[in-house]
Amino acid sequence: MSSTFFALAVCGSYVFVGLGLILLNQYILKDLHFPYPMFLSGLGVFASAIFARVLVRLGVSRITKTEAVEGVLWYQRVLPVGLASAGTFAFGNMAYLYLDVGFIQMLKSFTPVVIILFAYVSGVETPTMPVVYSVIIISIGIAATCSFSPTINVLGLTIMMLSAVMEAVRLVLTQFLLKQCKFGVVEGQYVLSPASALWLFVASALFEFRQMYENNAMKIVFDNFSFFLLASVAGVVVNFMAYSVIQATNSLTMKMLGTLRSIITIGFGVMLFKEVITEREAEGYLFALAGFVMYNMASSGMLDRVAILHLTPDKAAKQLCTSGCVPATSPVAGLDVEVGLPLLAVSLGKGEVE
């Protein structure tokens, strides 16, 4: 009973803290007239780096794999991944300057399509047919959504696609450069967050500092310090909540919660910001959403599990081998199997600092 309550509490916290962070970032960027997404993203990532180091100093967590990313290896492995991660955050927050909150949540459903393409082209992973079908469904749905959107902005759409591309690049680079590390949540923040924060602040200095100086933007930060602090803390909480959700449930549950959060955010966009969503646009999104759910099920191995239930033991074992899944030590005939999770089963949709 206590474990069930804990799982529900973690899942609920992940959804609503993430929702609050999305709305808070949008409020800072637009309503507080602070259009500097690189700097804002940098604050959140920097807070995660600091928090991870505090946990390590207090002995709450241990870092055991630093030899793989120390010295020159830090420049070869961590910096490239940090750059891609910084691009994901910066472009994701930048999109809020040009697009409605609800429309951005709809576009996030397209992220798996970009990741699949990059993973396939780079040779990291070959998608299964269910994944291919889901990608086609998502593409058709998002195309319809964009076609019928009354407030579409080409620049904003391009920025959102760049965020998806950078997320795909990050995942592919992680697979190539950090595959053997397999960091936990604290180790990942400890190693990667400083590099991401460095890139974000360098980019902010190059592209935002002059305008920030001319508009006395730091006065906005000091006058509304509580909002900026809350956004940074919420970013840290969501990052660690995501890991807690996976620990309490599984990665598929976390991705489904992300989908639920997107739907709730769309509703808040309509109610709070009077965003207009046409009937055709909603139909396109629902079509893409069906493909997104199918993608999550396929990438997590759930569809394979369902199919195996209807096979004989010999055919089930053959299906496990051909689909790239890993059978457990217990007999397949007993249906006690462990399906290996591919690269593309990782968390998606981290456009904003979460």
Q: Tell me the pLDDT tens digit for each residue of 226-259.
A: 999 999 999 888 878 877 787 777 766 777 788 8
Domain count, the chain: 1
Q: What is the pLDDT of residue 263?
A: 87
96 compared with 119, residue with greater pLDDT: 96
Check whether 52 has a pLDDT greater than 70. Answer: yes
Measured between alpha carbons, how far is 188 from 99 in angstroms, rounded to an integer? 31
Check whether 24 has a pLDDT greater than 70. Answer: yes
Q: Which amino acid is at 41?
A: S
Using an 8 Å Cβ cutoff, are 119 and 344 in contact?
Answer: yes
Using an 8 Å Cβ cutoff, are 276 and 150 in contact?
Answer: yes
Helices and strands (H and E) in the chain: how many: 16, 0
**Owner of token pair 């909603």:** 282
Helix, strand or coil, per DSSP, at residue 163? helix
Using an 8 Å Cβ cutoff, are 92 and 350 in contact?
Answer: yes
User: Rounded to whole angstroms, what are the CA distances from 192 to 78, 81, 184, 197, 271?
Assistant: 6, 8, 11, 9, 37
Q: What is the pLDDT of residue 342?
A: 33
Q: How many CA atoms lie within 13 A of 273 on its CB side?
A: 20
In 103-120, which positions are buried (b, 16+ CB within 10 angstroms) versus exposed (e)? bbbbbbbbbbbbbbebbe
Check whether 212 has a pLDDT greater than 90. Answer: yes
Tokens of 152: 């579409």
- The answer as to whether 25 is a domain residue is yes
- The answer as to whether 282 is a domain residue is no
Give the mean model confidence (pLDDT) for residues 329-333.
Answer: 29
Residues contacting residue 197 through CB under 8 Å, at least 6 positions apart: 42, 45, 46, 49, 86
- The answer as to whether 310 is a domain residue is no
Confidence band for 186, pLDDT divided at 50, 70 and 90: confident
Identify which of 85-94, 184-193, 261-270 has the greatest average pLDDT.
Answer: 85-94
Enclosing domain of residue 101: 2-126+150-275
- The answer as to whether 135 is a domain residue is no
Give the mean model confidence (pLDDT) for residues 48-75.
Answer: 84
User: Rounded to an integer, what is the distance from CA 27 to the centroid of its chain?
Assistant: 21
- The answer as to whether 131 is a domain residue is no
pTM of the complete model = 0.80
Phi, psi of 32 (to 5 degrees): -90, 0
Could you tell me the end-to-end alpha-carbon distance of the chain, in angstroms, rounded to an integer?
29
Check whether 166 has a pLDDT greater than 90. Answer: yes
Indicate left, alpha or beta for 275 from its phi (over 0: left) and psi (-120 to 50: alpha): beta
Residues contacting residue 349 through CB under 8 Å, at least 6 positions apart: 108, 111, 258, 262
Helix, strand or coil, per DSSP, at residue 81? helix
Q: What is the pLDDT of residue 346?
A: 36
Measured between alpha carbons, how far is 19 from 34 in angstroms, rounded to an integer? 20
Measured between alpha carbons, how far is 98 from 240 in angstroms, rounded to an integer? 29
Measured between alpha carbons, how far is 35 from 96 in angstroms, rounded to an integer? 9
- The answer as to whether 330 is a domain residue is no
- The answer as to whether 76 is a domain residue is yes
The greatest distance separating any two alpha carbons of the chain, rounded to the nearest whole angstrom, comes to 71
Quote the mean pLDDT of the chain.
81
Tokens of 15: 């959804």
Confidence band for 69, pLDDT divided at 50, 70 and 90: confident
The per-residue pLDDT for range 84-114, each reduced to its tens digit, is 999 999 999 999 999 999 899 899 888 888 9
Q: What is the pLDDT of residue 243?
A: 75
**Owner of token pair 């241990």:** 62
Q: What is the pLDDT of residue 313?
A: 55
The per-residue pLDDT for range 279-315, each reduced to its tens digit, is 888 899 999 989 888 888 887 765 555 444 445 555 5
Neighbours of 161 (CB within 10 A): 16
Identify which of 9-13, 118-122, 160-164, 269-273 has the greatest average pLDDT.
Answer: 160-164
Q: What is the pLDDT of residue 338?
A: 26
Q: What is the pLDDT of residue 312?
A: 52
Using an 8 Å Cβ cutoff, are 36 and 204 in contact?
Answer: yes
151 compared with 98, residue with greater pLDDT: 98
- The answer as to whether 28 is a domain residue is yes
Give the mean model confidence (pLDDT) for residues 39-48.
Answer: 94
